[in-house]
Every structure is written in structure tokens, then in C-alpha cells.
Amino acid sequence: MEAQAIPLFAASHSGTTTVGPVILLGAPGAGKGTQAKRIAEYYGIPQISTGDILRENIRLGTELGKAASSLMERGELVSDDLVCQMVARRVAAPDCALGMILDGFPRTVNQAEWLDKHLAEYHFFETERGRKRPVVVQLVVEYNQLLRRLTGRRTCPACGRIYNVFTTPPNADGVCDVDGVTLVTRKDDREEVIAERLKNYEAQTLPLVSYYSGQKLLTVVDGAGDPDEITAEAFKAIEHGDRL
């Protein structure tokens, strides 16, 4: 894939880097969004969720949104080219200078290779002691639990809070505890679409496990346990993240 013509932020990435890029890997429903928010808040770095950015583009009716919407509704992946361009634009923003957490990206080996090249080419996370390596955290959750999480998921369209009708229901049926807005089910959380997403995850995203473990960047975390313990494990992986 061609390198993207984006502004160079090398200078702002030098010297002041805190944590480098954190990549969250996991099936749909593994808890990437929940953990990404906690990590983002703790380290003061932005959460870059490609799914959220794509949904926002659909809401705004952009060209990207138009290209992505039917694919997403079917549970298929958006093309690597479109997603990489979108990520290139997002990570060029100054708020990514001290680190970033990537949630839902990369999702194919092609995207991972692009990301490696992009971070190197634009001198992301270079410090006087070398370049910070990405920290990759894989959240592992078994298939039936993923199904339960996804079919039960409800989201508040106003504040983004996520509930689950089986495990973490709102106080009053169908409305957000925070702002009383009616909760919605994501279009791709219908059962037949969920099966497609999980199938695509296995075929297209799971190969990233060997891609990153081959580079000794991968930490595997049991995503079925207590959310606070999962966060603690993720923090540990980030703190011990190595340098090139």
C-alpha cells in the first residue's frame, strides 16, 4: 500500500513520548471498547476506535460512510485502503503525540504491516533511547460468551455508555441510567450478522496473533474475568512495553 501524504508530526513525537501505541486485539464483544476507554483515560491518550469513526462517518453521510455502511451491516470488513487512510488522518492529529490506543485496528495482516511502516516512516514515538514499540494486548473470550455479550449489548446514543441486558442491565428497562435516553441495539449486533463478524474475525484478524507474537509484542489476557483485573493486566503490559 502507498504511504499516505499527511503532515509530518515527527518533532512533536520526540522526547515527550509517554506510552507509545497500544493495540487492543480481540473478537467482537471481547471488551476492547471498555478497556480502551479505561486505558485512554488513565494515560491521557486518545482512544482511536475505527468502528466508532466509521459509524460517525455513516451518521454524517460522508463518502467514507457511504462506502462502509452496507459492508458493516453485513458484518464484513471495510477495505484496508479506506481504513488505513482514515487512521493516517486520525493519528496525524497532535493529540496522538504522547501515545494512542488503537481499538479495532489493525484487523488484518495487511493493516498491521501498513501500521508498522507508517509509524516508522513518520517517526512516531521516537525518544532519545529509541523508538517505543507497540504494546499489543489480546483479550481472549470464548465463543458462547461473545455471543451473549453481543446479542445482549445496548448502547446509549447520547453518552455512549454500554449495557448488557443479561449481565449489566440499566436500572430501568431500555433507558440509560445517566441521561434517560432510549438505548439502541447496534445494527450489526443482530444474530446472523454477529456470526458473520465472528467468522471474519477468525479468518482475517486472528492471524495477527502470530504476527505480533513473532515480534514478541503480544500479551494475552483472559477477557472473561473481572473487568478491573483485565485493566490491571493491560496496565502491566503497557508499563513493561519494550523499546526497539
User: Does residue number 51 form part of the binding site for ligand ADP (CB under 6 A)?
Assistant: yes
From the number of C-beta atoms within 10 Å of its C-beta (0-12, 13-18, 19+), residue 44 rates as exposed
For residues 99 and 104, which CB has a smaller minimum distance to ligand ADP in the complex? 104
Binding string to ligand ADP for residues 186 to 225, with x set by CB under 6 A, is what?
Answer: --x--------x----------------------------
To the query of whether residue 132 is one of the catalytic residues in this protein, the response is no
Per the residue annotation, which of 129, 153, 199, 243 is the catalytic one? 153
Per the residue annotation, which of 55, 90, 132, 186 is the catalytic one? 186
User: Does residue number 28 form part of the binding site for ligand ADP (CB under 6 A)?
Assistant: yes
Least CB distance to ligand ADP at residue 160 (A)? 12
Least CB distance to ligand ADP at residue 150 (A)? 7
3-state per-residue secondary structure call for 122-148: CCCCEECCEEECCEEEEEECCHHHHHH
Angle at the Cα of 39 from the Cα atoms of 23 and 210, rounded to 5 degrees: 20
For residues 123 and 162, which CB has a smaller minimum distance to ligand ADP in the complex? 162
Do 4 and 85 contact (CB within 8 A), yes or no?
yes
Least CB distance to ligand ADP at residue 83 (A)? 4
For residue 59, what are the contacts with CB-CB under 8 A and spacing of at least 6? Answer: 65
User: Does residue number 138 form part of the binding site for ligand ADP (CB under 6 A)?
Assistant: no
Q: Which listed residue (75, 134, 223, 241) binds ligand ADP by CB under 6 A?
A: 75
For residues 28 and 99, which CB has a smaller minimum distance to ligand ADP in the complex? 28
Least CB distance to ligand ADP at residue 129 (A)? 30
Give the SS3 label for residue 226: coil
The residue nearest ligand ADP at its CB is 51
Least CB distance to ligand ADP at residue 15 (A)? 30
Do 212 and 136 contact (CB within 8 A), yes or no?
yes
* Ranges within 82-101 binding ligand ADP (CB under 6 A): 83
Which segments within 120-235 are labelled E, that is strand?
Answer: 126-127, 130-131, 135-140, 153-155, 162-164, 218-222
Nearest to 101 by CA among 25, 4, 162: 25
Q: Taking the C-alpha atoms of 176, 181, 186 and 187 in order, what is their torsion angle to the nearest 10 degrees?
A: 150
To the query of whether residue 55 is one of the catalytic residues in this protein, the response is no
For residue 7, what are the contacts with CB-CB under 8 A and spacing of at least 6? Answer: 92
Nearest to 101 by CA among 111, 91, 110: 91
The catalytic site residues sit at 32, 107, 153, 186, 197
- Residues forming contacts to ligand ADP in the complex (CB under 6 A) are 28-29, 50-51, 54, 71-72, 75-78, 83, 104-105, 107, 111, 188, 197
